[in-house]
Structure 1
Amino acid sequence: MDNRFTFIIGGARSGKTAFALSCAEKLKGTKTYIATGGAFDAEMSERIKRHKLERGNEWATIEEPLDVVKALAGLNPSGAVLIDCITLWLNNFIWKGLSDEAILGEVKRLAEFCPSCGKNVFAVSNEVGGGIVPEHPVARRFRDLSGAANGRLAAFADEVYLMTAGIPLKIK
């Protein structure tokens, strides 16, 4: 699996990251985790600390809430990169005040860059469109942007997996 873009989507706590880590750890070379979320409260700080321990010292961590392409471009071309996660990344753009057009432009930039960047890229995202229609306009916007982003990333990916109950289902 050299220089491939793998997109992994699923519900919360469905095993997306664990699956991505397990695939990436089978590859030779450096391992880099690009974290798009930040420690905005005590629970998230604890979660980040726990996840770093679970990954171990083999994984370098880059915290990049917005310019994921720049973070990817600066990495050594060997090994594997895990972007975790796309939905937190989208949320960061929403709260920075970017328009839907600008956000989807960033998604397109990432989707086009991943397959040709010379690295094995694993991107993890949440499937948030399977539930009820959110009552709040911002939540509906987030759901809609997530669906559009997931579709664009999946279209450019070499492989796409849907995770459910810890089981990966290859859909592309």
Structure 2
Amino acid sequence: MGKIIFISGGVRSGKSTFALELAEKCKEVVFIATAGKITDREMNKRILVHKESRPKHWKTIEETEDIIKHLKSFEKADCVIVDCVTFLVSNWMFKKYTEDKIIENIKNLIKKLRKIKGKVILVSNEVGMGVVPPYKLGRDFRDIIGRVNQILAKDSNEFYFFISGIKRRLK
């Protein structure tokens, strides 16, 4: 059984950079990108910067919904990075998954990822420390990702939190 490392924090706080640093010493790295098709120019630019920051020899899997279906292709990797859980959850919400189904999916994902022999690094945004969203979908998303992050923090072997570029190991 491998190690699950959970990294959370605000947007642009250093989470993804730290995830890449943790994976640098691994021989075989699989990067699972969950953003999917983005039609916004600014977001496309951000994703391109992320892509360019990864070593070329790393395998990248772009999957917006069902990471588990790719398990066979990365179960023997030294390190697997999922960046990010926030996009995964929002993708599920846009597919009209219920909160219970999302929680079930996360628990099932953790169960499957525990079988990987290497490190699994899960990156997620902390969205519950800001302004209360003025619309229902935003509040629902904040609440669901909050529950998901609690599960990931509890079930991880290590947990790091980032704020304004400062990393704190909480577990």
TM-score range, shorter chain: over 0.9
Shift of residue 132, structure 1, vs aligned partner: 2.5
3-state SS, counterpart of residue 74 of structure 1: helix
Equivalent residues in 2 for 1:1-172, closer than 5 Å:
3-27=2-26, 29-41=27-39, 42-172=41-171
Task: Determine if contact 1:6/1:123 at 8 Å carries over to the other structure.
Answer: yes
What is the rounded CA distance, in whole Å, between the counterparts of 2:14 and 2:48 in structure 1? 18
Q: Deviations over 1:51-105 (max 9, x none)?
A: 2111131221100001112223431413111100011100000101111111111
Shift of residue 109, structure 1, vs aligned partner: 0.8
Q: Point out 4+ residue stretches in structure 1 off by more than 4 angstroms.
A: none
The 1:23/1:66 distance shift into structure 2, 3 A limit, reads same
Q: Deviations over 1:109-167 (max 9, x none)?
A: 11222223223100000000112322211001000000100011111110000012222
Task: Determine if contact 1:111/1:152 at 8 Å carries over to the other structure.
Answer: no
TM-score by length of 1: 0.92
What is the rounded CA distance, in whole Å, between the counterparts of 2:71 and 2:20 in structure 1? 17
Aligned length: 170
Task: Determine if contact 2:9/2:162 at 8 Å carries over to the other structure.
Answer: yes
| Larger CA deviation: 131-140 vs 142-151 | 131-140
3-state SS, counterpart of residue 129 of structure 1: coil
Q: Which amino acid aligns with 2:143?
A: D
Identity of aligned residues (%): 38
Task: Determine if contact 2:75/2:116 at 8 Å carries over to the other structure.
Answer: no
What is the rounded CA distance, in whole Å, between the counterparts of 1:88 and 1:78 in structure 2? 23
3-state SS, counterpart of residue 130 of structure 2: coil
Q: Which amino acid aligns with 1:153?
A: L
What is the rounded CA distance, in whole Å, between the counterparts of 1:26 and 1:39 in structure 2? 30
3-state SS, counterpart of residue 132 of structure 1: coil
The 1:72/1:14 distance shift into structure 2, 3 A limit, reads farther
3-state SS, counterpart of residue 31 of structure 2: strand
Q: Deviations over 1:17-46 (max 9, x none)?
A: 00010011123x211110000232222332
Task: Determine if contact 1:115/1:158 at 8 Å carries over to the other structure.
Answer: no
What is the rounded CA distance, in whole Å, between the counterparts of 2:11 and 2:49 in structure 1? 17
